[in-house]
Amino acid sequence: MTSANADNLFDAKADETIRSCLDLAAPRSFFLYAGAGSGKTRSLVQAVRDLCERQGRELKLTGQKVAIITYTNAACDEIVQRLEFDPRVDVSTIHAFAWSLIRGHDDDIRKWLDTNLLAEIADLEEKQAKGRSGKAAIERAQSIESKTRRRDGLPTIARFIYSPTGDNRTRDSLNHAEVIAMTAAFLNAKPGLRRLLIASYPILLIDESQDTARRLMDALLDVQAAFPAQFCLGLFGDTMQRIYADGKVGLAEAIPETWAKPRKAMNHRCPKRVIALINKIRSDDDKQEQQARSDAPEGTVRLFLAPETVGNKRDVEATAATKMAELTGDEAWLPDRDGVKMLALEHLMSARRFGFEHFFGSLYAYEPMRTGLLDGTGRGLGFFTRELLPLANALATGDRFATAAAIRRTSPLLDRQRLADAGDKQQAELERAKVACDGLKVLLLAENPPTLRAVLRYVAATELFVIPEVLQPFVPEVLTDAATEPEDDASTEAGAWRRALDAPFPEIEKYDRYVRGVSQFDTHQGVKGREFPRVMVVISDDEARGFLFSYGKLMGTKEKTKTDLENEAAGNDTSIARTRRLFYVTCSRAAESLAIVYYSDDPGLARTALLERGWFADDEIEIVAA
Report the alpha-carbon distance of residue 134 to residue 406 in Å, rounded: 37
Report the alpha-carbon distance of residue 345 to residue 580 in Å, rounded: 10
Nearest to 490 by CA among 361, 372, 395: 361
pLDDT for residue 140: 82
- Please count the helices (runs of H) and the strands (runs of E) in the chain: 30, 14
Report the alpha-carbon distance of residue 131 to residue 3 in Å, rounded: 69
pLDDT for residue 529: 62
585 HSE (CA, 13 A, CB side): 29
Quick check: helix, strand or coil at residue 473? helix
Cβ neighbours of residue 248 under 8 Å, at least 6 residues apart? 210, 212, 214, 217, 218, 254
Q: Give residue 606's identity as a one-letter amino acid code.
A: A
State the virtual CA torsion across 314, 316, 321, 325 in degrees, nearest 10.
140
pLDDT for residue 480: 47
Please give the backbone phi and psi of residue 448, each rounded to the nearest 5 degrees, phi first: -100, 115
Quick check: helix, strand or coil at residue 504? strand
State the virtual CA torsion across 268, 338, 500, 549 in degrees, nearest 10.
40
Long-range contacts of 47-55 (CB under 8 A, 24+ apart): 47/15, 47/18, 47/19, 47/22, 48/22, 48/83, 48/86, 48/89, 48/205, 49/83, 50/19, 50/22, 51/19, 51/22, 51/23, 51/24, 51/203, 52/86, 52/88, 52/89, 55/23, 55/24
Nearest to 493 by CA among 15, 147, 190: 147
Report the alpha-carbon distance of residue 178 to residue 116 in Å, rounded: 9
190 HSE (CA, 13 A, CB side): 16
466 HSE (CA, 13 A, CB side): 14
Render pLDDT for 12-50 as a digit per residue (tens, 0 to 9). 999 999 999 999 999 999 999 998 899 988 999 999 999
* DSSP code, position 355: T
Nearest to 471 by CA among 484, 459, 480, 485: 459
Render pLDDT for 371-388 as a digit per residue (tens, 0 to 9). 788 878 888 999 999 999
Quick check: helix, strand or coil at residue 173? strand
pLDDT for residue 369: 83
pLDDT for residue 522: 59
Which residues of the chain fall short of a pLDDT of 70?
1-2, 166-169, 345, 478-491, 519-529, 543-548, 626
pLDDT for residue 72: 79
Would you say how long the chain is, in residues?
626
Quick check: helix, strand or coil at residue 533? strand
Nearest to 235 by CA among 252, 253, 250, 214: 252
Quick check: helix, strand or coil at residue 532? strand
